[in-house]
Amino acid sequence: MKRSLPSTKAIDGFGGLAQATRLTAIRQLLSAHPDSLTAGEIARRCRVPHNTMSTHLRILMRAGLIEVERDGRTMNYRANVKAFEELIGFLTRDCCRGRPDLCGFESVPGSTESDETESSINSMTPAFNVLFLCTHNSARSIMAEALLERFGNGRFRAYSAGTEPARAPLPEVINRLAVLGHDTSRLRCKPWSEFKGPNAPRMDFVLALCDVACGPIRQELGSQLVMAAWPLPDPAQFSGSASERTTLLNELYAMIRRRVEAFAGLPLPSLDRSALKVRLDEIGDTMRLAP
């Protein structure tokens, strides 16, 4: 039996989103879901005063788009994903004379009484944002970004950055990735600070591929993310003939691919934060010396 969201409730929901600060706040809460954020953290990410943010949060609560839990004197806010399912269902349920599948909507979130079906859950599960980090962002992290984009099966959005980024990736790395069939058009060196603004994608994972100081990065990018170290050899230090360097690059590519595929195969929704950290450290450690 199909369920109809009342127009008045839909208007409240879309009205709650129709303001720049509230839209940014919702995006931050959705990126943190299923975890919650305090009002102070949301205000910091949105770069507005705390009292202004409190007003916006009350509007979002009245619209049913967020939920709040009290922890002592702290108020923790969480996105109401079910409400977003209903809004999407409201927009799509009548598409193509009641056949939204004709326009590419294979299933309409929130359109049936069973909210816990596998298809509904999968359709609303966001991709995990993963930042690969190294010093110059010119080789190892670039390769890891390209590999996760290919082998992540749509479950991840891959990024890379450096603490002291080079002007451009190593040409031999880009050439090797191209030979191996990767799209290299978007690969570039960039500072990790690109990911700390309020409109930047919020990282779920930061994986360091060389020895970098991660404390300041965690502080700036948020305590919710999971960090791990996957130390790998630096291609800039490879020596020998061109063919020998190509062989070393191929070996490095294989090492990174094994890690990426092991990571992509983890049952992420079933693991808590501490278990994830353990599994990620194991991937970096047990594969360190693999040929």
Q: pLDDT higher for 95 or 176?
A: 176
Same domain flag for 152 and 251: yes
**The pair of three-digit structure tokens given for residue 115, joined into one six-digit string:** 């909210």
Same domain flag for 203 and 265: yes
How far apart, in Å, do the first and last CA atoms of the chain sit? 56
Same domain flag for 202 and 239: yes
In this prediction, residue 1 has a pLDDT band, given cuts at 50, 70 and 90, of very low
Q: pLDDT higher for 137 or 50?
A: 137
Residue after which a domain boundary falls, among 84, 105, 126: 126
Q: Using DSSP bridges, classify how beta strands 66-71 and 74-79 pair: parallel, antiparallel or unpaired.
A: antiparallel
Same domain flag for 81 and 112: yes
Same domain flag for 72 and 168: no
The number of domains in the chain is: 2
Residue 291 lies in a domain: no
Same domain flag for 234 and 272: yes
Same domain flag for 99 and 134: no
Q: What CATH number did the domain enclosing 151 receive?
A: 3.40.50.2300
Distances (CA, A) of 249 to 105, 144, 234, 243, 283: 42, 13, 10, 10, 20
Same domain flag for 107 and 139: no
In this prediction, residue 124 has a pLDDT band, given cuts at 50, 70 and 90, of very low
Same domain flag for 106 and 40: yes
203, 129 Cβ separation under 8 angstroms:
yes
Q: In the chain, what percentage of residues exceed pLDDT 70?
A: 83
Residue type, 129: N
Q: What is the pLDDT of residue 94?
A: 62
Residue 190 lies in a domain: yes
User: Is 60 exceeded by the pLDDT of residue 118?
Assistant: no
- Give the Cα separation of 291 and 202 in Å (integer): 34
Q: Across all residues in the chain, what is the average pLDDT?
A: 82
Same domain flag for 76 and 135: no
Range of the domain at 280: 128-286
> At CA 202, angle to CA 200 and CA 207, rounded to 5?
115
Q: Which of 89, 88, 190, 201 is nearest to 142 (CA)?
A: 190
Which stretch of 37-41, 145-149, 220-224 has the lowest confidence by average pLDDT? 220-224
**The pair of three-digit structure tokens given for residue 252, joined into one six-digit string:** 């490095």
Which stretch of 78-82, 113-117, 213-217, 247-251 has the lowest confidence by average pLDDT? 113-117
Q: What is the pLDDT of residue 97?
A: 53
Q: What CATH number did the domain enclosing 99 receive?
A: 1.10.10.10
Residue after which a domain boundary falls, among 108, 126, 144: 126
pLDDT digits (tens, 9 = 90+) for 15-30: 888 888 899 999 888 8
Q: Which of 281, 111, 132 is nearest to 206 (CA)?
A: 132
Same domain flag for 151 and 106: no
Residue after which a domain boundary falls, among 126, 151, 166: 126
Q: What is the pLDDT of residue 271?
A: 85
What single string gives the DSSP state of each residue in 242-288?
HHHHHHHHHHHHHHHHHHHHHHHTS-GGG--HHHHHHHHHHHHHHTT
Q: Using DSSP bridges, classify how beta strands 66-71 and 128-134 pair: parallel, antiparallel or unpaired.
A: unpaired
Residue type, 194: E
- Give the Cα separation of 229 and 212 in Å (integer): 9
Backbone angles phi, psi at 191, to 5 degrees: -80, 150
25, 68 Cβ separation under 8 angstroms:
no
Q: What is the pLDDT of residue 96?
A: 56
> At CA 184, angle to CA 180 and CA 185, rounded to 5?
150
Q: pLDDT higher for 70 or 102?
A: 70
In this prediction, residue 287 has a pLDDT band, given cuts at 50, 70 and 90, of low
Same domain flag for 277 and 145: yes
Task: Convert 220-239 to b/e letters by CB count within 10 Å (16 or more is b).
Answer: ebbebbbbbbbebebbeebe
29, 42 Cβ separation under 8 angstroms:
yes
